[in-house]
Amino acid sequence: MQDTSEAIGRRFDAGVDDAFSNLLVDAFFRHRTVHAVALFTLGLSFVVGSRVGNLPDFGLLYEYAFYLVVYFWIAGCAYATLRLFWLAFVDRARSPLRMLLRPLQQMLTDRNRIANGINGLAAMLVFMSGFVVLKGAIAVLVPFSWDQTLAHFGADLHFGRTPYQWLWWIVESPLAVHLLNFCYNFWFVVLVAMVFSSVAAARDSLLRHQFLLSFMLVWLVGGFFIAMAFSSAGPCFYARLDLGDQYQPLMDALASANRQYPIWALSTQDRLWSGYTGSPSGTMGISAFPSIHVATSVLFALYLTRLSTRLGIVMWIFAAIIMLGSVVLGWHYAVDGYAGALIAVAIWKITGGALSRAHA
């Protein structure tokens, strides 16, 4: 009798495994375009990496996965605490813990959602492993040559003044610069949250695929191909490239602010420059045009606007803050941000139209 029960159990488990494997295969087929872009990026990184001596490190996949787990453990604990407090003391729910755990249970038992999430996350991890190599190779393949042109073009667009001069009322406030830097760093948290939430979305919609595909193309097309065509370092490295002292007042103001509040951008810029000058293989990527920070933030705003008007408004405000921060912190010329925003909108529209026609 026991042998019969064990045999039935094994057959049931095998049936479940086969069913889930079929779901994974079906999800892989639906994500074929996303996987194709990810694999193309990885393949290109091997070609480019072999030329500069910096091949993709698949150990990064484990690092990305580890940091994702840590991030979502911390974020999940924080969310659970706040949500439980809200349910107990604001909504006054009879069973706050049960109401908190119900959505999690639904997500963990939704096999289609898990299959879609695995495919989306795997594609993103593969894509990022390849993109890191491409980003670091830009300055090695094409030395910086567009900084002066971008700086002059930016001044012409802003009535003969360097853009940061119009924002001097922010630059001269150490607290304002510090808060901008905090928002600029918080961009990474938003990035991880947006990617993961789209990967783990309840519905495998065209909108979800539009976002995932647009995200990859914004980074690949804007962050590598266009960045290589307009290879530039950015205002914070202008003087270090012996191009003049046009941005020295800005950098001096940031250094002064750093004596009152931590301006983390300065130490990051120093590390990037040290990596750039000390690594012939291009493991430390410096690239100004276009601004991927701004492009990605605009992409987030476009995506969230389709999901929720309120969330969209919040993200558009955040994108504007990132645009200001990119200039005030010396990371980018103003035209870098404008170009990034235009690239994001163009890719979003083109990708959406192509997916709609493909599924018509």
Q: 3-state class of 342 per DSSP? A: helix
Residue 4 inside a domain? The answer is no
For the chain, list residues with pLDDT below 70. 1-17, 54-68, 71-72, 75-76, 79, 91, 100, 103-110, 279-284, 360
pLDDT at 31: 85
Fill in the DSSP letter of residue 237.
G
Residue 57 inside a domain? The answer is yes
CA dist 38 and 201 (Å) reads 20
Residue 313 inside a domain? The answer is yes
Q: 3-state class of 142 per DSSP? A: coil
Whether 67 contacts 188, CB under 8 Å: no
Residue 157 inside a domain? The answer is yes
Residue 36 inside a domain? The answer is yes
Number of domains within the chain? 1
**Strands, DSSP E only, in the chain?**
none
Name the phi and psi angles at 198, rounded to 5.
Answer: -75, -40
Name the phi and psi angles at 333, rounded to 5.
Answer: -75, 155
Residue 7 inside a domain? The answer is no
C-alpha closest to that of 170 among 333, 339, 316, 321 = 321
Residue 122 inside a domain? The answer is yes
- Structural domain that includes position 200: 31-358
Residue 16 inside a domain? The answer is no
Name the phi and psi angles at 83, rounded to 5.
Answer: -65, -40
Number of H helices, E strands in the chain: 16, 0
pLDDT at 305: 95
